[in-house]
Structure 1
Amino acid sequence: MSKKIKKTVLLILPIALGVFLIWYSLSKLSPQDVESITNSFKTANYWWVALSLLFGVLSHLSRAYRWHFMLEPMGYKPRYANSVMAVLIAYLLNLLIPRSGEVARAASIKKYEKIPFEKAFGTIVAERVADVIMLFGIIAIAFFLQSELISGYLFKDDGESSIYTKVIMFGVLPIIGFFTYRYFKKSTNPYIAKIISFIKGLLEGLTSILTMRRKWEFIFHTFFIWVMYILMMYVVTFSLPETSNLSLGAVVVCFVVGALSMALTNGGLGTYPVFVASALVLYKIDNNAALAFGWIMWTAQTIMVILFGSLSLVLLPFYNKFIGNKIS
């Protein structure tokens, strides 16, 4: 298979998977189910959805501000507006082509702030390291908070099995992981070498973050961004009567499931609503209400990204032309 064909397949496959999942999930619904989901959309309290979008905007603004902490040690102080619009453009392009947003973000800041592409891209990769670590941490929290539900679901048992689940998750698995890492480290297998390289990259990225001059501000904004992400989902639970009594622990589990689904298709197309709904069903939420919640969340987030990303694409050159004329 040629590289061109391989790239085309990799671009088309996630979109095709998303479209298939949308068709498949809808094809299983009866007319009554469709009517129930439609009624949920009609009766939802969209003030909570609007608040969710506000939290989303705050997370994007914080991400753009956090970026400066990595650029400043190299002597670059980009205009905040340019950083914000570059971040929003990145989110928009990631909906179309996975991972293209990071390249576009670095290219945008290079064009309008004269920051070398490789340096800008390097800071974005380091940022991603912090985000991956945060996601792993939230996954661990989700398992810890909801171990009873997860153990009951996996082992069809009651509360006593949750103790064993915690012992396995936080005692046995780290030990297994340590010895597995030692074995991998000595292995000459090329695939294992890539895994080791990825882990080393995470550790190096974490070290660089901990040694930067404004590390506490960077860490604060990293936590702030992910708290905003979780709050985006939490407040939308109040928009539907069926989900309004969900605990924060349940929301964290749904958030993790939704976040992981984003890796399968462009922006979670088709996967996000289905995966989030499957998690909600574990909490005795009616399947139709669960699907409605997943679709409301995904639709609101996607519209926000498309709207602000498109505006940024249009406004970025005009803003810099205006600033250039003002300076000259």
Structure 2
Amino acid sequence: MKKQIRKWLTILVPLLIGIAIIYYQFTTLTSDEIGKIKISFQKANYYYILLSLVIACFGYWSRAYRWKFALNHLGYETKFYNNFFTVCVSYLVNLTVPRSGEISRAALLKKYENVPFDKAFGTIVAERIVDLLIFLLFVFIGFISQFEKIYQFLLSKNIAIKTIITSGIVAVILFIIFILIWIYAEWNIILKLKKKLSGLIEGMTTVYKMKDKWMYIFHSFLIWFSYLCMFYVAIFALPETTDISFDIVVMGFIFGSLAVGFSNGGLGAYPFSIALIFSLYGISNNVGIAFGWLVWTSQTILAILLGLISYVLLPILNRNK
């Protein structure tokens, strides 16, 4: 019973957060602003939205291609189409329960390529760690270049920058302590955990040990470059966003990426965060909302279509196994 409740909560809570954000966003708009948003959708140049989706597909491909380096290191030669289709399905599943796609991806690879679940999942965790480090690089560059603008925004919201810095330092110290305990402690509970997670750890350490680590890292940057390009190309879809500078694009990209984890695939949170960050640079609220919904809707439709097609093709292409 408790498992069922927990399962439904993981689905409903992010969904309700997304719905609440949408409700808040649109109830605070005037009828004139809503009318302008509708006009933006009607006048948008969907050629650039389509181009953005093509670039996004390239990111899917690169993610699937990168995965083979980690799997090869563990001794598993998988078919590329299985890698690609399982990646596509994982994007679809993530729209229902945030981060559940990683589990489905490892489970599907076990089913169609007989790669042990814990090892496959370990390589996915390693991917997420690498992705996080690259994203933090984006955050660092973006926040350094836009420090004054962000600082003034935090002051306007009565948020002390000292509190944020202190919290960050404490978090880093606690993380270092945890790593040291994990590596050096001989406690029974730590030893038992290491034994149970041995397959997962083996998958996670593939990046450091693999022969093709530089190609893996290259594709890791390529994936994030494609994400950024996907976002950048979309700004040309609306006349009001065509001339925004690249530093604004980077900040929008950063906050949009952060918003994805707040609800199912960024439902409500993504357009809200884009409108918020664009407003700091003098872009009207209705334009920011329209742009955010254009990007989010198109990317969500792509994830649904590719995920469904992949889910259908996987058993068809693997039926002779």
Normalising by structure 2, we get a TM-score of 0.85
The 1:320–1:176 alpha-carbon spacing in structure 2 relative to 1, beyond 3 Å, is closer
**Conservation of the 8 A alpha-carbon contact between 1:86 and 1:108:** yes
Shift of 1:211: 3.0
Shift of 1:177: 6.9
The 1:180–1:16 alpha-carbon spacing in structure 2 relative to 1, beyond 3 Å, is closer
CA RMSD of aligned residues (A): 2.8
The 1:185–1:88 alpha-carbon spacing in structure 2 relative to 1, beyond 3 Å, is closer
Partner of 2:184 in structure 1?
none
The AA in structure 2 aligned to 1:243 is T
Shift of 1:34: 1.4
* 1:301 equivalenced with 2:291 (yes/no): no
**Conservation of the 8 A alpha-carbon contact between 1:130 and 1:205:** no
Residue 263 of structure 1 aligns to a residue in which SS?
A: coil
Map Cα deviations across residues 287-327 of structure 1 (whole Å, 9 max, x no partner).
11110000001001100000111111111111222xx38xx
Shift of 1:152: 3.1
**Rounded Cα–Cα distance in structure 2 between residues aligned with 1:75 and 1:180:** 35
Shift of 1:81: 0.7
Alignment of 1:256-295 (within 5 A): 256-295=254-293
Alignment of 1:1-328 (within 5 A): 2-155=2-155, 208-321=206-319, 324=320
Shift of 1:55: 1.0
**Conservation of the 8 A alpha-carbon contact between 2:82 and 2:314:** yes
The 1:110–1:186 alpha-carbon spacing in structure 2 relative to 1, beyond 3 Å, is closer
The AA in structure 2 aligned to 1:239 is A
Shift of 1:184: 7.3
- Identity among equivalent positions (%) equals 42
The AA in structure 2 aligned to 1:30 is T
Shift of 1:153: 2.6
Map Cα deviations across residues 216-273 of structure 1 (whole Å, 9 max, x no partner).
1000000000011111111111111111111111111111111111111010011100
Residue 52 of structure 1 aligns to a residue in which SS?
A: helix
The AA in structure 2 aligned to 1:134 is I
Shift of 1:210: 3.2
**Rounded Cα–Cα distance in structure 2 between residues aligned with 1:178 and 1:112:** 39
The 1:60–1:30 alpha-carbon spacing in structure 2 relative to 1, beyond 3 Å, is same
Map Cα deviations across residues 102-159 of structure 1 (whole Å, 9 max, x no partner).
1111111111112111111111111111111111111111101212321233347xxx
Gaps of 5+ in 2: 182-192, 194-200
The AA in structure 2 aligned to 1:227 is F
The 1:206–1:247 alpha-carbon spacing in structure 2 relative to 1, beyond 3 Å, is farther
Residue 22 of structure 2 aligns to a residue in which SS?
A: helix
The AA in structure 1 aligned to 2:215 is E
Gaps of 5+ in 1: 157-164, 188-196, 198-202
The 1:287–1:69 alpha-carbon spacing in structure 2 relative to 1, beyond 3 Å, is same
Shift of 1:205: 8.4
**Rounded Cα–Cα distance in structure 2 between residues aligned with 1:308 and 1:183:** 42
**Rounded Cα–Cα distance in structure 1 between residues aligned with 2:81 and 2:21:** 37
The 1:304–1:179 alpha-carbon spacing in structure 2 relative to 1, beyond 3 Å, is closer
Map Cα deviations across residues 151-178 of structure 1 (whole Å, 9 max, x no partner).
233347xxxxxxxx9xx98xx9997776
The AA in structure 2 aligned to 1:257 is F
The 1:218–1:184 alpha-carbon spacing in structure 2 relative to 1, beyond 3 Å, is closer
The AA in structure 2 aligned to 1:101 is G
The 1:182–1:296 alpha-carbon spacing in structure 2 relative to 1, beyond 3 Å, is closer
Runs of 4+ aligned structure 1 residues displaced above 4 Å come to 172-187, 203-208
The AA in structure 1 aligned to 2:38 is T
